[in-house]
Structure 1
Amino acid sequence: MQKTENTKSAGSAGGISRAQFLAGTASAGLAAALLPSGPARAAEGRRHGLGHRGVVYTVGAGETPATGFTTARMRKDIRAIRDDLHADTVDVTGDGVERLTATAAEAAERGLHVWLQPTLGDVPEQDILEHLAETGRFAERLRRQGASVDFSVGCEFWLFVPGIVPGDTVLERVRNLLDGKVDPVRMQRRLDRFTAKAAAAGRSVFRGRLGYAAAQDDRVDWRLFDIVGIDYYSYFPHRADYVRELRRHLRWGKPLAITEFGTCAYVGAPETGGMGWNVVDHDKHPEEIKGDLVRSERTQAAYLMQLLDVFSSLDLYAAMAFEFVTLDAPHRPGDPRHDLDLASYAVTKTIEDRPHDPASRRHWEPKEAFHALARRYAREARRG
Structure 2
Amino acid sequence: MQRTKGIKRAQFLAGMASAGLAAAALPAGRARAAEGGAGQARTAGRGLRHHGVVYTVGEGETPGTAFSTARMRKDIRVIRDELYADTVDVTGDGVERLTATAAEAAERGLRVWLQPTLGDVPERDILEHLAETGRFAERLRRQGAAVDLGVGCEFWLFVPGIVPGDDVFERIRNLLAGTVDPVAMQRRLDRFTAKAAAVGRSVFHGRLSYAAAQDDHVDWRLFDIVGIDYYSYFPHKADYVRQLNRYLRWGKPLAITEFGTCAYVGAPETAGMGWDVVDRDKQEIKGDLVRSERTQATYLTQLLDAFSSMDLYAAMAFEFVTPDAPHRPGDPRHDLDLASYALTKTIKDRPDDPASGWHWEPKEAFHALARRYRSARTGRPHAH
Q: CA deviation at 1:232?
A: 0.1
Q: Is structure 2 residue 203 aligned with structure 1 residue 210?
A: no
Note if contact 1:266-1:297 (Cα within 8 Å) is conserved in structure 2. Answer: yes
Q: Which amino acid aligns with 2:149?
A: F
Cα separation, 1, equivalents of 2:198 and 2:145 = 23
* Alignment-derived partner of residue 170 in structure 1: 168
Residue aligning to 2:182: 184
Counterpart among 370, 374, 382 of residue 366 in structure 2? 370
Deviation sequence 1:167-206 (CA, Å, 0-9, x none): 1111111111122221111100000000000000000000
Q: Is the 8 A contact 2:18 2:176 kept in 1?
A: no
Which one of the candidate residues 14, 18, 38 is aligned to 1:21?
Answer: 14
Identity %: 78
Superposed CA deviations along residues 70-114 of structure 1, whole A, max 9, x for unmatched, are: 100110110010011000000000000000000000000000000
Q: Secondary structure at the match of 1:66?
A: helix
Query: How far is the alpha carbon of 1:357 from its aligned partner?
Result: 1.5
Tell me: CA distance 1:57–1:381, structure 2 relative to 1, closer, same or farther (3 Å): same
Which segment drifts farther, 179-188 or 214-223?
179-188
Amino acid across the alignment from 1:299: T
Aligned counterparts of 1:336 and 1:296: Cα–Cα separation in 2: 12
Change (3 A) 1:260 1:22: farther
CA shift at 1:10, angstroms? Answer: 3.6
User: Which runs of no fewer than 5 residues in structure 2 stay unpaired?
Assistant: 24-33
CA distance in 2 between counterparts of 1:81 and 1:41 reads 35
1:244 aligns with 2:242: yes
Q: Look up the SS of the partner of 1:6 in the other structure.
A: coil
Spell out the pairing of 1:36-55 with structure 2 (5 A cutoff): 47-55=45-53
| CA–CA distance in structure 2, aligned partners of residues 372 and 110 of structure 1 | 23
Partner of 1:33: none
Total equivalences in the alignment: 368
Aligned mate of 1:332, from 307, 312, 328: 328
Map Cα deviations across residues 118-146 of structure 1 (whole Å, 9 max, x no partner).
00000000100000011000000000000
Structure 1's unaligned 5+ residue stretches are: 30-36
Identify which of 88, 99, 102 aligns with 1:90.
88
Correspondence 1:318 to 2:337:
no
Give the structure 2 partner of residue 32 of structure 1. Answer: none
Over 3 Å counting, the alpha-carbon distance change for 1:198 and 1:101 in structure 2 is: same
Aligned residue runs from structure 1 range 125-144, under 5 A: 125-144=123-142
- AA aligned to 1:301 is A
Kindly provide the CA deviation profile for residues 245-280 of structure 1, in whole angstroms up to 9, marking residues without a partner as x: 100000000000000000000000001111100000
CA contact (8 A) 1:6 1:61 kept: no
- Which TM-score applies when normalising by structure 1? 0.92
- After superposition, give the CA deviation of every residue in 1:24-79 in whole Å (9 maximum; x if it has no partner): 346665xxxxxxx9999999996522110000000011122211111001101100
Contact 1:53 1:89 in 2 (8 A): yes
- For 2:191 and 2:280, the matched residues in 1 are separated by 36
1:21 maps to amino acid: A
Contact 1:26–1:274 at 8 Å: present in 2 too? Answer: no
- 1:22 Cα offset (Å): 4.6
Determine the structure 1 residue equivalent to 2:295. 299
Q: Work out which of the residue numbers 330, 343, 349 in structure 1 matches 2:339.
A: 343
CA contact (8 A) 1:216 1:230 kept: yes
Q: TM-score, normalised by structure 2?
A: 0.92
TM-superposed CA distance for 1:353, in Å, is 0.4
Distance (Å, rounded) in 2 between the aligned partners of 1:59 and 1:200: 25
- Cα contact 2:42–2:245 (8 A) shared by 1: no
Alpha-carbon shift at residue 356 of structure 1 (Å):
2.1
What is the CA-CA distance between 1:211 and the residue it aligns to? 0.4
Equivalent AA in structure 2 for residue 120 of structure 1: L
Q: Give the equivalent residue in structure 2 for 1:235.
A: 233
1:230 is displaced (CA, Å) by: 0.1
SS at match of 2:189: helix
